[in-house]
């Protein structure tokens, strides 16, 4: 019996034990880069046509910019502002001039410089899911977002090396006052993790608090962080063609302090854009470039990110759909557009499933591959997203970490040289034999392949004997283990005191609001 027959028919005897299958053993924190040529969905000429349509949108139709201050900034920069409708029109020369001031890459440095992230070029950075109003896990069920879950999700981020940054309010603590809960979130981000995070940009105050608190944690002032950024924000355009007041003000606050701004039109084809992908991309492109131009008008050279979130609705029901084939295409094409303007690129692996199940995975994988093939730099919402972003899921977070680590392994370059071509090993092993004990194998086997955390490779009998748990059930074991083993990163007590004092002072200034 050959080794191949042994393995195929019954040889999976030494299946990983139960303990190993739920191990948190994971690759070290790493700066991930994408070594492959990005995929081209469109030809150069097709991109020219999309770009030309974007420029017509900005020149002929304009963008409604609901912040008078922001209108002033762009008027001074040379845009034409219709004050009666708050419509801003920019010609393509001005757009190009302003966008060209943006850096192609930048680094965000949080309190632990070892957790700095590089955004742009061929780097790949991930974040925790942002914004869901609900939370779910298999033990406690579905519930409204709250501070206890918020803190747990930050602990899980800290526990898993595949999550590089914290997004905007993973599980907004809605039991707290709406006007100051962002302070509790920033405090959790800074004390329970050492990662960079997202500043809430609904208005100027929330953004500045995020900047100030990050500065305190770094032992710097907010002014000293200009030119040495640490945080980011997402400006979600109200597509079609509208920037609201609060978002524009948040954007300007971030730009004044030289912190990074990602401008992301949320464009579901059929609802916020036409049903056709080229039209959706032309509109997304116009809106994203408009916001980026505004950032550059506030502070030339301020770090920005070209954000894309083009998916589609179900035209039978109007329901939003994520991780569709059309979304995968948009993720690839948006990368072509971002690179056209030399901008770092953000997109999102997403899904519309109501459960952390097989659908959640095929939709996530569809959009994740679109992101990676599109040369995406910032995979926003890449851990924990469920229900089209309306629910943060503990199990899905673990499953996403598994998929991200697989993708990181795929992105490791493969070295071709005499040693890896292994002719001598092939010559040593007889026909029909096996390579298990060969010196070439023995010298490399411990690191030769990616070792997953959650995938179970036991044979069927061993899997049944161990309880026949499916992947979602095993994920429950892993997040529980991660929380049980979690260790808070050390922080200088003086910094901790200063953060607490900042939060107390700001809560007093803001006053007690309604939950």
Place of tokens 């131009």: 293
Burial of 450 (0-12, 13-18, 19+ CB in 10 A): middle
- 3 near a second copy (CB under 8 A): yes
Judged by CB under 8 A, which of 147, 406, 498, 503 binds a second copy? 406
Scanning 106-114, 184-192, 256-264, 443-451 for contacts with a second copy by CB under 8 A, the matching segment is 443-451
**Residues 145-184 close enough to bind a second copy by CB under 8 A:** none
Judged by CB under 8 A, which of 19, 28, 431, 467 binds a second copy? 431
The structure tokens listed for 110 are: 């949080």
CB of 489: closest distance to a second copy in angstroms? 29
First to last CA, the chain: 69
Q: Render 292-349 in DSSP notation, one character per residue.
A: HHHHHHHSTT--EEEE-EEEEE-TTT--EE-S-HHHHHHHHHHHHHHHHTT--EEE--
Judged by CB under 8 A, which of 41, 71, 102, 253 binds a second copy? 41
Asked if 292 and 99 touch (Cβ cutoff 8 Å), the reply is yes
Nearer to a second copy, 445 or 504 (CB): 445
Place of tokens 């999550």: 163
CB of 510: closest distance to a second copy in angstroms? 25
Nearer to a second copy, 275 or 494 (CB): 275
Judged by CB under 8 A, which of 435, 491, 498, 503 binds a second copy? 435
CB of 414: closest distance to a second copy in angstroms? 5
Nearer to a second copy, 150 or 266 (CB): 266
φ, ψ at 134 (rounded to 5°): -130, 160
**Residues 271-290 close enough to bind a second copy by CB under 8 A:** 271-279, 282-283
Cα distance between residue 373 and residue 336, in whole Å: 10
**Residues 226-255 close enough to bind a second copy by CB under 8 A:** 236, 238-242
3-state SS of the chain: helix, strand, coil percent to 5? Answer: 45, 15, 40
**Residues 458-487 close enough to bind a second copy by CB under 8 A:** 458-460, 463-464, 468, 470-472, 475
Chain CA centroid to CA 130, Å: 9
- 407 near a second copy (CB under 8 A): yes
CB of 289: closest distance to a second copy in angstroms? 15
Cα distance between residue 99 and residue 301, in whole Å: 9
Judged by CB under 8 A, which of 57, 199, 478, 499 binds a second copy? 57
């Amino acid at each position: 019996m050959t080794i191949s027959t042994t393995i195929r028919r019954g040889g999976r005897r030494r299946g990983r034990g139960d303990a190993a299958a739920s191990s948190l053993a994971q690759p070290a924190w790493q700066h991930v880069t994408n070594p492959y040529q990005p995929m081209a969905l469109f030809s150069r000429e097709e991109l020219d046509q999309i770009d030309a349509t974007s420029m017509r949108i900005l020149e002929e139709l304009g963008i409604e910019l609901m912040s008078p201050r922001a209108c002033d900034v762009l008027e001074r920069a040379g845009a034409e502002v219709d004050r009666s409708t708050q419509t801003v029109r920019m010609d393509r020369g001005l757009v190009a001039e302003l966008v060209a001031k943006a850096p192609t890459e930048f680094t965000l440095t949080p309190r632990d410089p070892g957790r700095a992230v590089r955004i742009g070029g061929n780097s790949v950075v991930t974040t925790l899911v942002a914004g869901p109003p609900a939370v779910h896990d298999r033990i406690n069920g579905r519930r409204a977002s709250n501070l206890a879950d918020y803190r747990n999700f930050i602990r899980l981020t800290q526990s898993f090396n595949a999550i590089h940054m914290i997004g905007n309010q993973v599980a907004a603590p809605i039991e707290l006052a709406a006007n100051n809960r962002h302070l509790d979130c920033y405090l959790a981000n800074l004390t329970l993790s050492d990662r960079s995070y997202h500043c809430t940009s609904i208005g100027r105050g929330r953004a500045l608090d995020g900047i100030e608190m990050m500065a305190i944690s770094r032992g710097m002032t907010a002014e000293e962080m200009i030119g040495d950024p640490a945080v980011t924000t997402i400006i979600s355009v109200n597509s079609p063609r509208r920037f609201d007041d609060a978002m524009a003000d948040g954007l300007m606050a971030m730009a004044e302090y030289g912190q990074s701004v990602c401008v992301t039109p949320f464009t579901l084809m059929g609802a916020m854009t036409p049903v056709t992908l080229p039209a959706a991309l032309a509109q997304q492109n116009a809106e994203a470039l408009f916001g980026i131009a505004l950032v550059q008008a506030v502070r030339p050279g301020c770090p920005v990110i070209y954000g894309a979130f083009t998916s589609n609705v179900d035209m039978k029901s109007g329901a939003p759909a994520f991780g569709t084939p059309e979304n995968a295409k948009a993720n690839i094409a948006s990368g072509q557009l971002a690179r056209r303007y030399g901008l770092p690129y953000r997109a999102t692996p997403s899904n519309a499933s109501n459960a952390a199940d097989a659908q959640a995975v095929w939709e996530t994988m569809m959009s994740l591959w679109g992101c990676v093939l599109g040369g995406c730099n910032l995979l926003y919402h890449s851990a924990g997203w469920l229900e089209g972003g309306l629910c943060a899921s503990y199990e899905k977070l673990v499953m996403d970490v598994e998929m991200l680590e697989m993708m990181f392994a795929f992105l490791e370059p493969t070295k071709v040289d005499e040693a890896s071509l292994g002719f001598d090993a092939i010559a040593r092993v007889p026909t029909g034999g096996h390579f298990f004990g060969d010196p070439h194998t023995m010298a490399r086997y411990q690191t030769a392949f990616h070792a997953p955390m959650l995938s179970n490779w036991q044979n069927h009998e061993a899997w049944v004997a161990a309880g026949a748990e499916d992947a979602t059930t095993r994920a429950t074991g892993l997040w529980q283990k991660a929380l049980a083993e979690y260790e808070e990163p050390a922080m200088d007590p003086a910094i901790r005191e200063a953060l607490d004092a900042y939060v107390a002072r700001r809560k007093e200034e803001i006053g007690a609001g309604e939950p």
